[in-house]
Amino acid sequence: MCGIAGFALPIAPSPDERAAFAARLRRMVASLRHRGPDALNGLVLPGIALGHARLSIVDPAGGHQPMRDAGTGVTLVFNGEIFNHPELREALAPGYRFRTASDTEVLLAAFLEHGIDCVDELNGQFAFAIHDPRDGSLWLGRDRFGKLPLFYVHDRDCFAFASEAKALFAGDVVRPRLDARALFETLHLWGPSEARSAFDGVRSLPPGCVARVRGGELTIRRYWELDLADERIDHGLTLDRAADEVEELLEDAVRLRLRADVPVAAYLSGGLDSSLLCAIAQDQLGGTLQTFSVAFAHERYDERAFQAGVAAALETEHHSIAVEAPDIGALLPQVVEHAEATLLRTAPAPLLKLSGLVRDHGTKVVLTGEGADEVFLGYDLFKETRIRQFWARRPESSVRPLLFGRLYPYLDVSRQSPQLLRQFFGIGLDEPGALDFSHRVRWTNSGRIARFLSPAFREHLEGWDPVAELLGSLPARIREWRPLARAQFLEIRTLLSQYLLSSQGDRMLMASSVEGRFPFLDHRLAELSARLPDSFKLGGLKEKLVLRRIARGRVPAQVTARTKFPYRAPIAEALTGPRAPTWARELLGRDAVDSLGIFDGSKVERFLARLAARAQAPSDADDMVLAAVASTQLLAHRFLGEREIPRAQADSVKVCFA
Residue 416's SS3 state is coil
Cα separation, 176 vs 197, whole angstroms: 11
Compute the C-alpha angle 402/407/413, nearest 5°.
Answer: 65
What would you measure as the largest C-alpha separation in the chain, in angstroms?
78
Pairing mode of beta strands 654-657, 542-543 = unpaired
Name the packing angle between helices 325-339 and 348-360 (round to 10°): 90
Q: Which residues of 146-172 are buried (b: 16+ CB within 10 A; e: fewer)?
A: bbbbbbbbbeeebbbbbbbbbbbbbbe
Contact 67, 104 (CB under 8 A): yes
Rounded distance between C-alpha atoms, residue 303 and residue 535, angstroms: 28
Could you give phi then psi for residue 65, rounded to 5 degrees?
-130, 160
CA–CA separation, 48 vs 44, rounded Å? Answer: 6
Question: How far is 541 from 518, CA to CA, in rounded Å?
Answer: 25
Helix (H) or strand (E) holding 526: helix 523-531
Are 587 and 626 in contact, with CB atoms under 8 Å apart? no
Catalytic-role residue among 2, 118, 209, 278: 2
For residue 35, give the DSSP letter.
Answer: G
In this structure, how many other beta carbons lie within 10 angstroms of the beta carbon of residue 524? 13
Peptide bond before 475: cis, by omega within 30 degrees of 0?
no
- CA 489 from centre of chain: 15
Whether the Cβ atoms of residue 470 and residue 494 lie closer than 8 Å to each other: yes
- Exposure on the CB side of residue 11, measured as CA atoms within 13 A: 4
DSSP H helical ranges for 135-257? 165-170, 180-189, 239-257
Cβ burial of 256 (10 Å; 0-12, 13-18, 19+) is buried
Residue 528 to residue 234: CA distance in whole angstroms: 10
**Could you tell me which of 329, 658, 343, 365 has the C-alpha nearest to residue 513?**
365
Establish whether 2 is a catalytic residue.
yes
Mark residue 63 as left, alpha or beta (left: phi above 0; alpha: psi -120 to 50; beta: remaining): left
3-state secondary structure of 204: strand
E strands, 513-572, in order:
515-517, 538-539, 542-543
3-state secondary structure at position 396: coil
* DSSP β-ladder status, 264-267 and 365-367: parallel
Is residue 103 marked as binding?
yes
- DSSP calls for 623-656: HHHHHHHHHHHHHHHHHSS-----HHHHHTSEEE
**What count of residues does the chain have?**
658
Paired strand residues for 76? 67, 130
Quote the CA–CA distance of 126 and 1 in Å, as a whole number.
Answer: 8
Active site residues: 2
Residues within the annotated binding site?
103, 294
Binding residues for ATP are 294
Binding-site residues from annotation for L-glutamine = 103
